[in-house]
Amino acid sequence: MAQTKYVASGGLAFDEEKDMKKLAGLARKGWVFEKFSFLGYKLRKTSPVELQYALDYRKEADEDYFAYFEEAGWKHEGTSGGYIHLFSAPKDVAPIYTDQSSILEKYQIEKKSMGKAALLMLFVNIALAVVFYLFTSASFYQTYETPIKLTFTIIETLALIGLIFTGLPYLGYVYRVRKWKR
């Protein structure tokens, strides 16, 4: 039997709680978090254990940051993107976030960060569309039509992927902030 397996994430901006519950359920079956993977998690086989998982978002986290969680009974399991930190703790340890204002603040910070990235990617996509339009109006366009179209198609596809990977999480955090404000 395999000693590791991959589990897809529902998208932290959309299903953070569901992902954490899924990881806890898998730990009860003997599959614990090993590391973040592309769009998911890599788990390793162990004996079943009762754990809860929680995420925190902090850029430039230092030793004091991790010591704070450790003193509260939380073990740092891994970091993704340099700022998404996953922690685990036994079931009887108090949750990281216990009040609505701290949960709301966590999501507002992420919303702002993703919003900036999504706005940048939107401007990049608009700029590419304008540049492509200008190229099609240029006198040399018909001579180099195929390579120009191919180049812009590749660049625009990459830019659209960037917009999707920043815009959708931004919308997810907008939804979460509105949900927690109610």
Instruction: Give residue 55's pLDDT.
Output: 93
User: Per the structure, how many domains does the chain have?
Assistant: 2
User: What would the pLDDT profile of 124-178 be if each residue is shown by its tens digit?
Assistant: 999 999 999 888 888 888 888 888 889 999 999 999 999 999 999 899 889 888 8
Residues 86 and 150 in one domain: no
pLDDT at 103 over 70: yes
| 25, 54: one domain | yes
Query: Hey, CA dihedral for 63, 68, 74, 79, is it positive or negative?
Result: negative
What is the arithmetic mean of pLDDT over 69-89?
A: 95
Residues 116 and 51 in one domain: no
**pTM (2 decimals)?**
0.76
Which range of residues forms the domain containing residue 107? 100-181
Q: d(Cα 91, Cα 150) in Å, to the nearest integer? A: 54
Q: Are residues 85 and 128 in the same domain?
A: no
The residue count of the chain comes to 182
**Phi/psi at 61 (nearest 5 deg)?**
-65, 135
Rg (CA), the chain: 21
* Enclosing H/E stretch for 6: strand 4-8
Let me know whether 108 and 170 are in one domain: yes
In a shared domain, residues 28 and 8: yes
